[in-house]
Amino acid sequence: MSTAWSWVVIIGSLGSILFFYVVLQLNRQTGKESGETTGHIHDGIEEYDNPLPAWWYWLFVLTMIYGVGYLIWYPGLGNFPGIADWTSVGELETDQEASRARYEPLFAKYRQLPVAEIYKVPAAVKMGQRLFANNCSVCHGSTAAGGFGFPDLIDDVWTWGAEASTIKQTILHGRKAAMPAWGTVIGDQGIRDVTAYILSLNNREADPDAVAQGETLFGNFCIACHGPEGKGLPALGAPDLTNGIWLYGNSRSRIEFSIRNGRNGEMPGFKHKLGENKAHILAGYVYGLSR
Ligand code: HEC
Ligand code: HEC
């Protein structure tokens, strides 16, 4: 907050309390006799003009003192940090630290188990399930079945590799897939031909001439990442294009779209957020989903 805004907040907060104090004083009417009326009469009912009851007056004063005290203790006055040094971030960190101290030993217990063994321990699976629901299901779905652009983690098909250690690596450090856009390189005809070739690899209907053209293009431009038979290369996250599983849709137009415009799927890394112990359990849980 800039200094000017800080002062606006300070003057606004203290000014409003002062304003109410002045209004309260002006209405106190200590000098008045009890029993005077305001002169208002309605249906024979007269309105008295008595001073405020003392308890009510002092309650009001107390709330004002409390309010000022609160603004001094907590950071309520613009940029003034408050004498208690309280911050919402600080409170969150203290809470997180406390829960880490409490629960981390539970997670650490499974650290000596290899990732590939964790899914055999029901208690660990339960933890994995909860961690997954909290951290992963937003993208991979509550059942881990994925969706458009988000891989299915239940089938035993892995673009980045099937080993338990690879899965853990993915969770800790994330993945960035880089499929270049080919539209300007091979043109519209090229896109149609290479798509025909990919469809033929999946035993789907395609024009034989286009398939022949597409095979040459594929050999020139695609095998570096997708491999000579289109079976993919886990080290690059280049998917198998022959297994009938499509991250970005299986229709001809969707496949053409992927090739023309490229794709850049990104899985965020969770090392900082979860730490090694939780990532270890999660990796074991995900590894077990397809078993
Ligand atoms: C530099 C490496 C690289 C090259 C070269 C490359 N690709 Fe890819 N391709 C990838 C990666 C990585 C992905 C996964 C993208 C993602 O997950 O977001 C991918 C994804 C795809 C997909 C989407 C698959 C799906 O599951 O939806 C198709 C189709 C595809 N590539 C076809 C091709 C064709 C055809 C060529 C050649 C013209 C080609 N690729 C060249 C790396 C490459
Ligand atoms: C913001 C969305 C997002 C979140 C949250 C997310 N992921 Fe992912 N994840 C992705 C995307 C996108 C990919 C695919 C990257 C690519 O295109 O290759 C992926 C890929 C993966 C893969 C690799 C799959 C393969 O076929 O090799 C694994 C394993 C995985 N995620 C596990 C997890 C786990 C466990 C969590 C929770 C800690 C998680 N993800 C949270 C988006 C997400």
Same domain, 161 and 283: yes
Same domain, 141 and 256: no
Provide the whole-model pTM: 0.80
Domain annotation covers residue 277: yes
pLDDT score of 234 = 97
Of 27-31, 38-42, 99-103, 258-262, the range with the lowest mean pLDDT is: 27-31
Of 158, 245, 152, residue with least CA distance to 198: 245
E-only strand ranges, the chain:
37-42, 45-48, 175-176, 266-267
Of all protein residues, the one whose alpha carbon is nearest to atom 42 of ligand 1 is 179
Same domain, 242 and 190: yes
CATH code of 198's domain? 1.10.760.10
pLDDT score of 51 = 80
Same domain, 110 and 243: no
Lining ligand 1 with CB less than 6 A are 177-180, 182, 194, 221-222, 224-226, 236-239, 241, 246-248, 255, 258-259, 263-265
Same domain, 43 and 161: no
Q: What distance in angstroms lies between residue 59's CA and the mean position of ligand 2's atoms?
A: 58
Strands 45-48 and 175-176: unpaired
Same domain, 69 and 112: no
Give tens-digit pLDDT for 273-288: 999 999 999 999 999 9
Of 40-49, 92-101, 197-206, the range with the lowest mean pLDDT is: 40-49
Q: What distance in angstroms lies between residue 236's CA and the mean position of ligand 2's atoms?
A: 15
pLDDT cut 90: percent of the chain above it? 86
Domain annotation covers residue 192: yes
Domain annotation covers residue 83: no
Atom of ligand 2 nearest to the CA of 160: 27
How many beta carbons lie within 10 A of that of residue 56, not counting itself?
11
Q: How confident is the model at residue 49 (pLDDT cuts 50, 70, 90)?
A: confident
pLDDT score of 1 = 84
Same domain, 19 and 151: no
Same domain, 98 and 169: yes
pLDDT score of 35 = 73
Length of the chain: 291
Give tens-digit pLDDT for 168-224: 999 999 999 999 999 999 999 999 999 999 999 999 999 999 999 999 999 999 999
Same domain, 157 and 282: yes
Q: What distance in angstroms lies between residue 48's CA and the mean position of ligand 2's atoms?
A: 73
Domain annotation covers residue 85: no
Task: Select, from the ranges 19-33, 90-104, 146-160, the one with the highest average predicted confidence (pLDDT).
Answer: 146-160
Same domain, 173 and 231: no
Choice from 179, 202, 216 to test ligand 1 binding pocket (greatest atom count within 8 A of CB):
179
Of all protein residues, the one whose alpha carbon is nearest to atom 6 of ligand 1 is 222
- Using CA atoms, how far apart are residues 9 and 84, in angstroms rounded to an integer? 19
Lining ligand 2 with CB less than 6 A are 135-136, 138-140, 149-151, 153, 158-160, 167, 170-171, 175, 177, 237, 265-268, 270, 282, 286
Domain annotation covers residue 81: no
Q: Mean pLDDT throughout 39-62?
A: 88
pLDDT score of 47 = 86
Triad 123, 125, 130: Cα angle to 5° = 100
Same domain, 137 and 168: yes
Atom of ligand 1 nearest to the CA of 222: 37
Domain annotation covers residue 82: no
Q: How confident is the prediction for the chain on average, in pLDDT?
A: 94
- Using CA atoms, how far apart are residues 195 and 182, in angstroms rounded to an integer? 12
**What would the two tokens of residue 205 be?**
């209907």
Of all protein residues, the one whose alpha carbon is nearest to atom 26 of ligand 2 is 158
Full residue range of the structural domain in which residue 274 is found: 91-177+268-289
Of all protein residues, the one whose alpha carbon is nearest to atom 8 of ligand 2 is 267
Q: What distance in angstroms lies between residue 140's CA and the mean position of ligand 2's atoms?
A: 7
- Using CA atoms, how far apart are residues 105 and 277, in angstroms rounded to an integer? 9
Same domain, 277 and 172: yes
pLDDT score of 33 = 67
Instruction: Give the number of whichever ligand sits closest to the CA of residue 246.
Output: 1
Q: What distance in angstroms lies between residue 222's CA and the mean position of ligand 1's atoms?
A: 8
Domain annotation covers residue 79: no
* Total number of domains constituting the chain: 3
pLDDT score of 76 = 87
Q: What distance in angstroms lies between residue 256's CA and the mean position of ligand 2's atoms?
A: 24
Domain annotation covers residue 86: no
